[in-house]
Amino acid sequence: MTAAGPDGPGTAEPGGGGPGRRAIAVLAGTAGLAFLADQSTKHLALATLDDRDPVRLLGGTVHLTLTRNSGAAFSLGADHTWIFSVITLAVVGWIGWMALRLRSVPWGLSLGLVLGGAFGNLADRIFRAPGYFVGHVVDMVSLFDPYGRVWPVFNLADSVLVCGVVLAVVLELTGRQRDGTRLRGAGSAPAAGSPKEPTDGPRRRETTSVEDQRETTDVEQRERA
């Protein structure tokens, strides 16, 4: 069955219709779990890693070290904390607008991860020192180096946000739309049982031309006889 959604014609996925309650539930549940997990790990890091040397794990692949980041995800833009607070609020509003026509469970998962990660870091910026909307985000995970010299120190909110964005890219590339439809790619193979278009047009025309010449020759021979 085909359906034309807001993003263009496509093929409706099973369960794509209806009010989209399941997709909204997945979005809200994923965002809530991601937020709670992020805040729990930050609380644990503050309680166990403060004034302590970095903890080495997995043979030095991962280090746990407490840092307070005044910038965005992965310590970017440390001098513009309030700007990232405003951007995060805009992202949250955008996701809320997207949810109004959300019918896809995979998209609900993707947007839920982004929303949960955004809320996790936004809560730090709003409520942590040194002040409202300029608070420092708690980071605690460093890869390959205890002080973030190989890869910036990050937290769980950063991780789930990136996972949500990656999932969104995959969904877009595979043609899955937020309204539950799936776009048919221009290069997709024809469905089983569908008639195939002839691929021997020039050869067929050439054969027809030879047959016409033979018929003309036969007619001329009869007239001479």
Q: Which residues are catalytic?
A: 139, 158
Cα end-to-end distance, the chain, whole Å: 64
Strands 181-182 and 2-5, by their bridges, are unpaired
